[in-house]
Chains A and B, each alone.
Chain A
Amino acid sequence: KQEVTQIPAALSVPEGENLVLNCSFTDSAIYNLQWFRQDPGKGLTSLLLIQSSQREQTSGRLNASLDKSSGRSTLYIAASQPGDSATYLCAVMNRDDKIIFGKGTRLHILP
């Protein structure tokens, strides 16, 4: 049974710092991994999608890596801004087409 774990559960950092969010999964037989952002009371916004054959994806200040063999992914945020404050969710798609989410990391950027 696939389990997705995200650490830390919560993180507060001063504005301008670079930071890394971690995601691990127990079954490496995945199709892809996706990072989402969720603001309080809102829906999910897709940030980056990494196919199982890829090692990383970049979008602006965000970079996501995938090490399928070790069951790990990281989301790197450069030069953090207060607007980056949100919950970040990691999700993997299994071979049975089911998406499994981690519980998320609540990020707070201090102005």
Chain B
Amino acid sequence: NAGVMQNPRHLVRRRGQEARLRCSPMKGHSHVYWYRQLPEEGLKFMVYLQKENIIDESGMPKERFSAEFPKEGPSILRIQQVVRGDSAAYFCASSPSGKNGYTFGSGTRLTVV
């Protein structure tokens, strides 16, 4: 079991481009969470998904951000028309069910130049 896999580890985008962050949960895990960590700040909840469903997206900006967790393949966090303020570390976590603890990936560090 390879754990939660996130790729890419580092991503550089110019302002206005799109960023696509991928998260493959642990085998058997159907719950996925995305978090954002800004420099010197804590982790902020963005979105909670189960297979093919968005359960809670209350932490995600209404514009430019979207997330999906299709029946097949990884969960994708998509940021359109990136701005400098989107530069952060984005972490994904997975769980077999929400109450059994979570395993985090190593994160994707997005830099917008």
Contacts and interface: CB of A to CB of B under 8 A. Distances in A.
Contacts of B91: 43-44
Nearest to B41: A103
B104 A36 contact: yes
B55 A99 contact: no
A89 B101 contact: no
Interface string B72-108: 0000000000000000000101000011011111110
B48 interface: yes
Contacts of B93: 44, 99
Contacts, number: 55
A14 to B, nearest CB: 26
B42 A103 contact: yes
Given A31-B98, A97-B48, A99-B93, A89 B43 contact: yes
Contacts of B98: 31, 93, 97
Name the prevailing secondary structure of the B interface residues: strand
Interface string B32-44: 0101000001111
Interface string A41-57: 11111100101000000
A43 B99 contact: no
B65 interface: no
Contact of A104 (B31, B42, B56, B102): B42
28 contacts: A31-B98, A32-B99, A32-B101, A36-B104, A41-B109, A42-B106, A43-B91, A43-B104, A44-B91, A44-B93, A44-B104, A46-B101, A46-B102, A89-B42, A93-B99, A96-B56, A97-B31, A97-B55, A97-B98, A97-B99, A98-B48, A99-B33, A99-B45, A99-B102, A101-B35, A101-B42, A101-B43, A101-B44
Interface of B: 31, 33, 35, 41-45, 48, 55-56, 91, 93, 98-99, 101-107, 109
7 closest pairs, A vs B, by CB? A97-B98, A43-B106, A103-B42, A44-B104, A49-B101, A101-B43, A31-B99
Interface of A: 31-32, 34, 36, 41-46, 49, 51, 89, 91, 93, 96-104
